[in-house]
Structure 1
Amino acid sequence: MSVPPSNAFGRRRFLTASAGAAFAATTLSSCAASVNSGGGGSGSGKTTTLTVMTVADEWDKPTVQAIEKLLNVKLSIVLYDTAKLNAMLASKNPPDLVRSIGAVDTPYFAARGVMTDLDPYFAQSKVLKDSDIDPVNDVWRFDGKKQGAGPRYGLAKDYSQDSMLWYRTDMFDAANLDHPSDTEPLSYDEVLDLGNRLVKRRLGKVKVYGLNVTGMGFFAQFMQMTASAGGRLFAEDLASVDFSSPEALKALQWYIEYAKANIGPSVTNPNPDGWDGPTYQADRVAMCADGYWFGGLIGEEPKLAEVSRFAPAPQLGSHRVSPCFGATGFWMPKDAKNKEVAWKFFEWYFGGQAAQDRASGGWGIPGLKSLHSKMPQDTPFHKQAFEVQQRELPYFSVLPFTPYVQLAALDGAINKVLPNAIKSGAAAGKIADELNSRMNEQISKGKELVG
C-alpha cells in the first residue's frame, strides 16, 4: 500500500463506485442546482473542469458521464502518481481532489501546508454532518504535530481493520485443520504453522500459497506486529524508527522465518498477481490478511463466498491491536482552483448514492455512521463477516505515522534491504541496523524540509 495504487488494495475495490451509475432524478436535479449556484455550472454559461487525481478504473465511462451530468462539470481524471502529485503541488497547479490513504498520507501533506482545511465546509454542509462522521476519520486530522487533532482535511470513503484474516474452509478441510476461531485471535506463530501446513507445491514450486500476511504492505504490517508485541516502530516524536527494539526484532525475525519458508508472497518471492484478489479468486491462496473490505470482492462470487470465512487479526504478543492502515478517501489541495464544485463532488461521493452503494456491497466499513446499517448481512457469508467485524471493533486502533516521509520510501527501504539480507542469512539484528540507518536518514531529510 505504498501509494493508493491498484496493486496494493486491489483494482476491483476501486471499481465499486461504478455501481452508483443510476442516480435518482431528484438527487440529480437538486445537487446540480446547488453546484450551478456556486458559479461553475450552466448558470454562468460555462462548464467547470473538475480535475481528480485517482487510480485507474476508479469509475467506468457511464459513471463518469453520470457524475458530469450530476454536477454539470467536465471530469478530468489524472492517474495517481506520487512524483506527479508532488510536482503539481509545488507548481501550485494541483488537481481539485486527490485520492489518498488517510492513515499514512495526512500527516505528510498537512505538515507541508498543501491541504485545504475542510472544517468550514463541514460546518455548512447539510449532507455531511459532524455528528455522523465515523471516528476513524480522525486520521484525516492533523494539528501540526500529531494525527487525530486539529483541522479535518479529508474523509474516508470506507475503512477496515487491515490485519484481519480471510481463509478458505475447503483448503483447511482438505488439510484436516481446524478452522480459526471467530472470536479469539491466532498468534503469529500459529499462523505461520498453518501456512506451512496449507501450502501446496508441485515440482518444487509453490502451487497454492499457504499464507500472505503482508498484502497491505510491509512497513504497515511491521507496525501492527510490533504494537501487538507491546512496542512501537516510530519514536514518540515520529522523527525516527527503531527496528532494534525487542518487539520490533521479534516481528522482523518472524518475517524472516516466513520468507525463508517460502509459503507465501514475500520480498524474496513477490506475488506475480501484484495483490491478493486474483490469487484468492484463482484458488491459489489459503489464508490472507486483507481486512473487511476484501469481502466485497469475495461476496461477488457465490461459490467463493461459500468456502470463505473471516477471522480476527493475529497477534505477536499479548497487546491485542487491530489497526487500520488505510481509511482511503479524498482531500482538496489548498491551491485547488474549483473548491466549491469539488465540495459538491465530496458530498455526493461520501454522503450520496455512491456511498450507499459502496456500503451495501461490503467494500469496507462506511466512513459515515449512518451508513453502517447498510453493511450486508443477507447471506451466511456476509452475516459471518459482519459479526466477526463487529466483535473486532473494540480492538481498533490507528498507529500514528510520521509526517516527515511518505510510506513508499519506507517500503522502498524494506525492498532494498530484506531480499539480499534474507538470502544471505544475515542476522535479524544486522538487518534492523540497516533498516534504521536507511529509514532514519530519509526521515531526517524530510524533517529538515518541514522545519
Structure 2
Amino acid sequence: MSHDNELDKKTIKAAEQALDIKINFIVSDDTKLKALLAAKNPPDLVRGQGGLETPYLAARDLMTDLDPYFAKSKVLTSSDLDPANDVWRFDGTKQGSGPRYGMCKDYAQDQMLWYRTDLFDAAKVDHLSETEPTSYDELLDVGKRLVKRRLGKVKVYGLSAAEMGNFVQLAGMTASAGGSLFAEDLASVDFSSPEALKALNWMIDYTKADIGPNIVNPNPDGYDWPTYQANRMAIARNGYWFGGQFAAEPKLAAVSRFVPAPQFGGKRVSPCFSGTGYWIPKNAKNKDTAWKFFEWYFAGSVAQERATTGYGIPALKSLREKMPQKTAPQKQAFKVQQQEFPYYATIPFTPYVQVTSLEAVINQTLPGLIKSGATPGKVADKLNSLMNEQISKGKRVVG
C-alpha cells in the first residue's frame, strides 16, 4: 500500500523482475488500511510517516519488529542507517529507541528554510545566514518586511511557517526553546510551560501578522511549492527535499538559497517530522518477501538513483555522496545540509492518539481564540484541556 507517485509502475515492474515476485498495488487509504488491519489481513508493506505514526501503531502491536531482519541483512546494516531512521523506533515508552519498525526511504530536516534572493533584494532585505541559524524573532521581522499586499490582500507571502501542520511546528519550536510539548511519559501536553508558550506566542503573532499561509488564512495552493515557484513566496519552511523541484527550474534555482532551521536559542535542534518510508504489519502473510523488497528498495539501484535527485536525504549514510552536487545551487544546498546534520533531533510523539487528531484540535480552536483576542495563556489552557482529554481516552484504549 503506497502512493502511486512514489511507487510507480516502472519501479514495481523493476522490483518484480529483480526479486521474481508479483506485487499487488493498493493506493494509500487510511480507512481501508484500518479495516484490513482490524480483519488481520493487511498489506505486506505499508507506506507511512515514521516520525508521526510509529508510536501510535507500535503501541497497538500492529507493526513487525524488524530488528531480526536488520541483524541478518548484509545490505541494510545498523551502522549504515542514518540517525533519522530512529523515528521508526519505539521502546514502549519513548520514540527514538527500542526496536526498529520501519525505515525511511529518504528524509529531510523539516524546519530548515529556502528563500528567494531576488525577492529579498527587491525589498532591500539582507540575505539570511548560511552558517548561523536565524532567530525566530528576526525571522518574523524579515517576513513582515517581505510581504506584499494589494487592496488589503496578500499577493506575495513573506514567510511560510506552518507547512506540515501547526502541531509539529510548535513541537519543534518548543524543543528549540529547550522544552517539550509532551510530558516525559507522553501522556499529556503542556502548552503552558515557558518554552511552549514562547512557541505558541510566536505562532499567534505570525498568524495575526498574516504574512504567510496560516490557520486563519490558508494557502489556496495547498502547499508551498506552487506559490514559491510562482514568485509569490519569499521564504518557505521546508527541508532538503524541496530542492529536488529545482531540477526543472534552473532560473529559480539560481536565486534560491537553503539555510539552517531557525532557533529560539534554548537548544539548537533541527528535527525530521515525517521520515516517510515503509513498515511491515505484524499480521502480514509474506514478511520475508516484504523484507526482500525492503533490501532492494532501500539499498539497491533504485535507492542509489533516488539519492541523486535531491528529493530527500538518503536513508543510508553510504549514499550521501550521491546527493546532487553538479550545479552551484546544488553545491550550496549540500554544504548547508552537511553543516545541519549534527543538530538532527528526534521529537517524540505520543502513542495514545494520532497527531492528526491533535492538529484537528488546533484547527478547530485556534482561529476563534485568535480572533477573540484571547491571551496566549488562555489559548494554552484551552489546548491543554482538549488535547489531554483525547490523549487520556487513547491511553485507556492502549492500557
Normalised-by-shorter TM-score class: over 0.9
Q: Does 1:122 align with 2:70?
A: yes
Q: Distance in 2 between matches of 1:196 and 1:300?
A: 30
Find 2:111's aligned residue among 149, 157, 163.
163
The match for 1:67 is 15
Contact 1:242-1:436 within 8 A present in 2 as well: yes
Misfit runs of 4+, over 4 Å: none
Find 2:208's aligned residue among 252, 260, 273.
260
**Paired residue type of 2:242:** F
The match for 1:76 is 24
Q: Does 1:109 align with 2:88?
A: no
Within-5 A mapping of 1:289-300? 289-300=237-248
**Paired residue type of 1:394:** P
| Structure 2 residue matching 1:277: 3-state secondary structure | helix
Contact 1:323-1:397 within 8 A present in 2 as well: yes
The match for 1:367 is 315
Q: Does 1:333 align with 2:281?
A: yes
Find 1:191's aligned residue among 136, 139, 144.
139
Find 1:277's aligned residue among 202, 225, 228.
225
Instruction: Please give the TM-score of this superposition, normalised by the length of structure 1.
Output: 0.86
Q: CA deviation at 1:56?
A: 4.2
Q: Distance in 2 between matches of 1:393 and 1:131?
A: 16
Unpaired stretches in structure 2, ≥5 consecutive residues: none
Aligned residues: 399
Q: CA deviation at 1:429?
A: 1.3
Q: Does 1:427 align with 2:375?
A: yes
Find 2:166's aligned residue among 189, 209, 218.
218
Q: Distance in 2 between matches of 1:320 and 1:61?
A: 42
Q: CA deviation at 1:149?
A: 2.4
Find 1:144's aligned residue among 92, 100, 105.
92
Q: CA deviation at 1:265?
A: 0.4
Cα deviations across residues 356-385 of structure 1 (Å, max 9, x unaligned)? 112111122211111011111111101111
Contact 1:93-1:336 within 8 A present in 2 as well: yes
**Paired residue type of 1:325:** F
How high is the sequence identity, in percent, across the aligned residues?
Answer: 67
The match for 1:235 is 183
The match for 1:20 is none
Q: Distance in 2 between matches of 1:329 and 1:187?
A: 31
**Paired residue type of 1:374:** K
Contact 1:243-1:436 within 8 A present in 2 as well: yes
| Structure 2 residue matching 1:347: 3-state secondary structure | helix
**Paired residue type of 1:143:** D
Q: CA deviation at 1:273?
A: 1.4
Q: Distance in 2 between matches of 1:66 and 1:389?
A: 31
Q: Distance in 2 between matches of 1:81 and 1:438?
A: 27
Q: Does 1:98 align with 2:46?
A: yes
Contact 1:299-1:382 within 8 A present in 2 as well: no
Cα deviations across residues 130-180 of structure 1 (Å, max 9, x unaligned)? 221122212212221222222211111112111110000100011111100
Cα deviations across residues 222-274 of structure 1 (Å, max 9, x unaligned)? 01111111221000100000011121112111111111111110010111111
Contact 1:132-1:370 within 8 A present in 2 as well: yes
Q: Distance in 2 between matches of 1:442 and 1:89?
A: 22
The worse-fitting range, judged by mean Cα deviation, of 169-178 and 113-122 is 113-122
Q: Does 1:350 align with 2:320?
A: no
The match for 2:155 is 207
Cα deviations across residues 98-156 of structure 1 (Å, max 9, x unaligned)? 11111121111111111111122222222212221122212212221222222211111
| Structure 1 residue matching 2:293: 3-state secondary structure | helix
Contact 1:165-1:288 within 8 A present in 2 as well: yes
**Paired residue type of 2:117:** T
- RMSD (CA atoms): 1.4
Q: Distance in 2 between matches of 1:74 and 1:276?
A: 37
The match for 1:413 is 361
Q: Distance in 1 between matches of 2:133 and 2:99?
A: 35
Q: CA deviation at 1:181?
A: 0.4
**Paired residue type of 2:192:** S
The worse-fitting range, judged by mean Cα deviation, of 152-161 and 118-127 is 118-127
Contact 1:101-1:327 within 8 A present in 2 as well: yes
Q: CA deviation at 1:297?
A: 1.3
Contact 2:15-2:296 within 8 A present in 1 as well: no
Q: Distance in 2 between matches of 1:305 and 1:55?
A: 27
Contact 2:84-2:344 within 8 A present in 1 as well: no
Contact 1:299-1:381 within 8 A present in 2 as well: no
Cα deviations across residues 186-231 of structure 1 (Å, max 9, x unaligned)? 1111111111111112222111111011112211110111111122
Contact 2:62-2:282 within 8 A present in 1 as well: yes
Q: Distance in 2 between matches of 1:222 and 1:396?
A: 17
Change (3 A) 1:66 1:243: same
| Structure 1 residue matching 2:386: 3-state secondary structure | helix
Q: Distance in 1 between matches of 2:157 and 2:25?
A: 36
**Paired residue type of 1:269:** N
Unpaired stretches in structure 1, ≥5 consecutive residues: 1-52
Q: CA deviation at 1:295?
A: 1.0
Find 2:250's aligned residue among 302, 306, 310.
302
Instruction: Please give the TM-score of this superposition, normalised by the length of structure 2.
Output: 0.96
Change (3 A) 1:380 1:166: same
The worse-fitting range, judged by mean Cα deviation, of 116-125 and 232-241 is 116-125
Cα deviations across residues 286-325 of structure 1 (Å, max 9, x unaligned)? 0011111111112332111111001111112332111111
Q: Distance in 2 between matches of 1:226 and 1:259?
A: 17
